[in-house]
Amino acid sequence: MSERAERLRAENKLPWTLGASRAVYAAAYLAAGVVAAATIFLLPSLAPTTRAILGGASATVFLYGCGVLFKNSGFYDVYWSVFPMLASLGWMNAYDAWSRPRAWIALSLATLWGVRLTTNWVKHFGGLDHEDWRYVDLRKKTGRYYQLASFGALHVFPFTLVTLGSLPLAAAIASTSSMGALDVVALVVGVVAVALETIADLQLHAFRRDNRDPRGFMQSGLWAYSRHPNYCGEAMAWWSFAIVGLAATLSPWHVAGALGVTAMILFASIPMAEERAVAKRPAFADYQRRVSRLLPWFPQR
């Protein structure tokens, strides 16, 4: 049982059941989709990319409100995987790109990655009484200013990264130029990224299911060659979006989202996770010295 659920029981309040939590999340995302669609519908004169950005912004504000109402910032987590897929579908229709091979590559990359990430989230969903430990730490550190910090760090910042990372997909879908080598590279990188994330997650969840040592941690399989193969796959997925955008137009802005996600992983996500791991599992420090941080490579002896 989560810390939050235990507190609710101590206060004689019933925690949310898993089924009820799923229903609330489903209703929240359905409503967020309606809000985004209404925003897009009311702005027919704007460019498709601008309308998608404004629709995503309105959905972000709505989901932030859901997080405040239910006291759980995890409501925004699924937006990462949902927006690129839905935006790509909208751009396919707006640019009438159903017969363009590059557009199909862009849509396939967004869908393959998004479906995997969303499915993984649904499979391991902890309910409304569970909140990501990073959000819990931020809540403790910011105190009365948590909602302001949550809006900026957990909603506006991710919205910016997701938007920047998705715009290359719009460029690829809108493009009418002929296919080239970069299109093939983008497809290969995207498929490898999803495969890497899938295998890493399956190995990690199998370890967590069978592990009985509270100080044990995953260090076999892909995890013997990278301390964070799942993060590596995540970064590669965003780079596949950037590459297919570059295949359409050589704009430096196409790499902005991928660079941002990679920087967040290297300088925020990994340091936070490893600081926590070392504090709970002293042997992790030796694992840090031996195994590559992100890109899979042969471990040092």
**Over its length of 301 residues, how does the chain's per-residue pLDDT go in tens digits?**
556 656 655 554 557 888 999 999 999 999 999 999 999 999 999 999 999 999 999 999 999 999 999 999 999 999 999 999 999 999 999 999 999 999 999 999 999 999 999 999 999 898 998 899 999 999 999 999 999 999 999 999 999 999 999 999 999 999 999 999 999 999 999 999 999 999 999 999 999 999 999 899 999 999 999 999 999 999 999 999 999 999 999 999 999 999 999 999 999 999 999 999 999 999 999 999 999 999 999 998 7
How far CA 264 is from CA of 38, 95, 151, 157, 268, in Å, comes to 32, 32, 17, 10, 5
Q: What is the pLDDT of residue 16?
A: 83
Q: What is the pLDDT of residue 301?
A: 77
CA distance 26 to 248: 36
Is 258 in contact with 205 (CB distance < 8 Å)? no
Q: What is the pLDDT of residue 129?
A: 87
Q: What is the pLDDT of residue 170?
A: 98
Is 109 in contact with 187 (CB distance < 8 Å)? yes
Is 190 in contact with 237 (CB distance < 8 Å)? yes
Q: Which two tokens stand for residue 183?
A: 């299109």
Q: Which amino acid is at 226?
A: S
Q: What is the pLDDT of residue 57?
A: 98
